[in-house]
Amino acid sequence: MGKYAEALTYFEKSLEIQKEALGEKHPDTAGTYDNIGSALCDMGRFAEALTYFEISLEIQKEILGEKHPDTTGTYHNIGSALCDMGKYAEALTYFEKSLEIQKETLGEKHPDTAGTYNYIGSALCDMGRHTEALLYFEKSLAVAPKYDEKSPEIQKETLAKKHLYTATTYQKIDSTFHILVFFVTRRASSSNL
């Protein structure tokens, strides 16, 4: 774990070969641009990562289409990199674009859709928009079904209530709720002065 520089070297070699053998406008080439962006993010080099994600996105939109899962994933990766850079409002537009496509192509009850609700909630929280964030965290939780042995087909398609994303979302709701209580209490005490 943590050998991001080494991984980056291999991704860059792969990219050279793919560009020569497959061309710039190929899904595999786009995927390698995305992998380079992810490795750069893992190394904390977010501005560089964005460049690679944006190249990947342009290729994916042209070759695979706007509604392809890879394209949606790259929208998400751009949003995550922007969040890591503290550019939450800009990140939010990419998360919302990803969500729009996921709802249409995967549906409301897909784990990826739940994850995107969670990321939107986090970005809103980081922007101080806690009430809105709470709504997205709750939407994320609503995707996770109640465990029911009578519906295994639903369990296969969606998250279980003991899934890691579900636990993380509960934690974010709790944190957001405490922030909201703090602000309401603070507002009430300052109005009594």
State residue 181's pLDDT score: 52
Domains observed in the chain: 1-105 (1.25.40.10), 109-193 (1.20.58)
* Per-residue confidence (pLDDT) for residue 170, from 0 to 100: 56
Q: Enumerate the H helices of the chain as residue ranges.
A: 4-21, 27-42, 46-63, 69-84, 88-105, 111-126, 130-143, 152-157, 164-191
Mean pLDDT per block of 10 residues along the chain (193 residues) reads 84 94 95 95 96 98 94 96 97 97 90 91 93 89 53 42 54 56 51 49
Read off the DSSP letter of residue 150: T
Whole-prediction pTM: 0.75
Token pair, residue 134, equals 């709470």
Calpha distance 91→51 (Å, rounded): 15
pLDDT for the residue numbered 183: 47
How far apart (Å, rounded) are the C-alpha atoms in residues 4 and 39?
6
Contact in structure between 181 and 188 (CB atoms under 8 Å) = no
Q: What whole-number distance in Å separates Cα of residue 120 and Cα of residue 33?
A: 24
Instruction: Identify whether the C-beta of residue 40 lies closer than 8 Å to the C-beta of residue 8.
Output: yes
